Amino acid sequence: MPINPQAQAFLDLDARLGLPDISEQGAYMARANGHSKRDLSGPIESGVTIENPYFTGPTADLPLHVYTPDGPGPFRAMVYFHGGGWVVNYITKYDAQLISLAKKTNSVIVSVNYQKSPEHKFPIPFDDCYAALEWTVVNAQVLNIDPTKIGVGGDSAGGNLASGVALAARDRGDISLAYQLLIYPCNGPEYVLNASVPNADGYGLTQRGMLWLWEQYLNGDADRNHPYAVPHSASSYAGLAPTVIITAEFDVLREDGLAYANKLAEAGNYVVHRDYAGMIHGFFNFGKYIDEGIAVRDFFADEINRILSM
């Protein structure tokens, strides 16, 4: 189908800013230009308390946003890793989405502001995210959450981090995840290397931009074979947490997400996948302009609630 009219209008609005591609901006300029208003993702709802603790990760003290819905608990939980190509964005930018999901899933959501590339390449952002999961498990009683109902989630590069954390949790055997929520993840640079990759330009995130972001995150070719950096390089996908994954029709990462969903399903995992027709990369974050960015929260919540009720 054609691109969604609201998605096209958002792209037109963005184009009027006249900014170069992220691969030309560089990290500093891209971060400065990414300081959008807090309501970019839609209205900020009430009914959730936000706390801002720090915890000590492997190499730094890291800030968290902890979203706790009103009510007595015990709650479910999700540890969330935000998108931004491992280079840009920050946790406050996700308040609207995560407040909404906390309420819809009756979950405490722990969002971590992991350290960014290129200053902090793999494995530092991954280690920060895994440590945030460990912190959540250790503090389950304090947070009033059921330790058997803790999932991970993330969008774009955050989906990559969630995928890597889920693989590590399985491999290390110390944490049993209830689910993983993967929102148009970028799990393998090979899916944007081909000159004929679909949606390479004109839809927000570009092929050249995604290749540049991979260069910022990885240390070199050796990291391409590390499954926690490049989940598509894992030798096995058996025994992973139930998965909710989406892709967007007009996204340069669409083929990446489709392939990862297939690999998970072929390995015998429970997988729910939806490809959002007419949508662009990042639409989950653009609810102020794209209605589907808000509506998709119901899909996520319904599927998470279904998994946690099994």
**Catalytic residue set:** 156, 251, 281
Residue position matching structure tokens 């050249």: 208
d(CA 159, CA 60): 22
What phi and psi values does residue 260 have, to the nearest 5 degrees?
Answer: -70, -40
CA 171 to chain CA mean position, Å: 21
Would you state the torsion angle of the CA atoms of residues 157, 160, 164, 167, taken in this order, to the nearest 10 degrees?
160
d(CA 231, CA 248): 19
Contact (CB, 8 A) for 176 and 202: no
Bridge partners, residue 54, by sequence: 63
| E strands in 139-266 | 145-155, 180-183, 243-250
Question: What would the two tokens of residue 123 be?
Answer: 């494995």
CA neighbor of 281 nearest in space, from 1, 2, 10: 10
Q: How far is CA 43 from CA 93, 108, 178, 295, in A?
A: 12, 20, 29, 13
Q: Quick count: other Cβ atoms within 10 Å of Cβ 66?
A: 20
